[in-house]
Chains A and B, each alone.
Chain A
């Protein structure tokens, strides 16, 4: 039954639902169906690259041919608190306000 060979990527509904969950996107059943089709096409398109033999090519860490960009450890002026908070949907003048976060702070 499968018409594609093993190297061709196949995206399942479950993959799409999982990625949507990780991206905090609430998708309707119809959206899951259409996105599964669309994403399969996109991944298939990109996967054409895998036909190229890259065994002699160094992995590319960054598209820019540049390295070692640093700044010195010198303080710069920060924003005023009011400006930092200005574009937030909700704040109390000191902190950003968000719906209750239960449990611990995310550990880095």
Chain B
């Protein structure tokens, strides 16, 4: 149980998420959108806002944002237009952002989130709207340098952004984090965005306040606070936990309710673990939107919507179920695999196809591949052991060359040495124990263990288990199952 749920109030959270769309070029010009390039190398007259330049809409950006909206179960407006949001900031060279105001292309969707461990009830979060707009540039200020200047890099200016706004339907920091994970997974699976927070392709602001039942039956609501500058989902969770406690303290001290002050913006300081009030930008909400004269409206047909819907692929919530059905693996296994992202699912399905058995492949994924991947860090696409190698190990285990625990040692060694399975097997002196060796070994064990032999002869077959450890000490490559079976056979044959 998280701290905030112990208090006599409901935490009410809404999120505003911006994701950069996975296009090659910007929303209104042909400049590329590669992250981390030297400053001002991906700019042109259009994204610099130079006089005489005109924006032209990137079709793929529009299609990707439609895909996102459909995946979020939104209604699609068949007529949509863009508007100018006017404000002055050095990272916004035109003096306005091209965004959508009164006719966004989609609205009224929803996305569910469940917690597999049941930490909270399944929650449906309503989506207010999804719209398409352009990103701003970056301003950098090196306070330690003591210079009076800020440096402006406009490479990011004009990058296509999908803005996703939720209704205030989340009820805890934990839920917010889980929902964001689900949203990210969805957008990654559909190829809408890479959702890389470190590179700023996914950014989250949160609105939070408390609903506190009063003795007279009235519901008191604390002023809504918008939290910004959260750079990871973990930060979002921490910031919301902090802000909940802060508002509760504030309520007890001041009894200030919503409407008694303008909406407050607070920035999350991750290292200090606190939110701090930001300087109130006076009238900042007065953006004087008006229709963008440089862009004509866009209409969408039902056929287009159908086409995009049918080409979308399976969203994670569906895939969890189909993967479990397709490979006959437990729902929990499928959930773990799907939550790791599409590349890992591809790896698993490749492995499962080679092995021909989902459960065995899933066990190796969960126990060996995922554990090793977590320890090493990095991405499954860079993982040194490819599915064919894991399938090779599993095939050798199934053939009886060695047992599973030996197979896992081999796996670890393949990871560590970066060698092939065959090389590791040869290097470890693992050779398949042939039948005559196995027979000689079992006869030796029988001679050395009269007590076990007597027990087995007396009908206690499980006593043969006592031979396995000894057999492995004599020859680590023996297959325990084969030792057990042959030993019992030989003992039974004894006079």
Contacts and interface: CB of A to CB of B under 8 A. Distances in A.
A5 interface: no
Interface string B13-46: 0000010000111000111100000111111110
Interface in B74-111: 79, 81, 86-92, 97, 99, 103
A78 B348 CA distance: 41
B117 interface: no
Contacts of A67: 296-299
A104 B281 CA distance: 12
Interface string B57-87: 1111110000000000000000101000011
A108 interface: yes
Contacts of A106: 87, 89, 91-92, 136
Given A64-B296, A101-B90, A104-B228, A70 B148 contact: no
A71 B283 contact: no
Interface string A44-75: 00000000000000000111101111111111
A97 B149 contact: yes
Interface stretch (B285-293, B406-414, B473-481): B285-293
A84 B40 contact: yes
Nearest to A24: B88
Contacts of B31: 75-76, 78
Interface residues of A, number: 43
Contacts of B326: none
B85 to A, nearest CB: 9
B141 A101 contact: yes
B197 to A, nearest CB: 14
Contact of A81 (B40, B50, B205, B296): B40
A73 B30 CA distance: 7
A94 B267 contact: no
A61 B291 contact: yes
B39 A81 contact: yes
B229 interface: yes
Interface in B128-143: 133-136, 138-141
A98 B139 contact: yes
B286 A22 contact: yes
A79 interface: yes
A95 interface: yes
A106 B96 CA distance: 12
A76 B141 contact: no
A105 B150 CA distance: 11
A2 interface: no
A75 B86 contact: no
B60 A105 contact: no
A62 B295 CA distance: 8
Contacts of A96: 40, 90, 151-152, 154
A22 B152 contact: no
Task: Point out which of B25, B56, B88, B99 has the most chain A C-beta atoms below 10 A from its C-beta.
Answer: B25
Contact of B153 (A66, A77, A95, A103): A95
Nearest to A82: B40
A84 B137 CA distance: 14
Contacts of B50: 87
A102 interface: yes
A92 interface: yes
B48 interface: yes
A95 B297 contact: no
A23 B272 CA distance: 37
Contacts of B140: 95
Contacts of B59: 70-73
A99 B150 contact: yes
A81 B44 CA distance: 9
Contact of A92 (B57, B151, B154, B295): B151
Interface of A: 18, 21-22, 24, 61-64, 66-79, 81, 84-85, 87, 90, 92, 94-108
Given A61-B297, A62-B293, A69-B295, 9 more contacts: A22-B288, A62-B81, A71-B58, A79-B48, A81-B38, A85-B40, A87-B50, A100-B150, A106-B89
6 contacts: A68-B298, A73-B60, A74-B25, A76-B25, A79-B44, A104-B229
Q: Which 10 A-B pairs have the closest CB atoms?
A: A76-B30, A95-B151, A73-B60, A70-B59, A96-B152, A106-B89, A101-B150, A98-B90, A61-B81, A71-B56
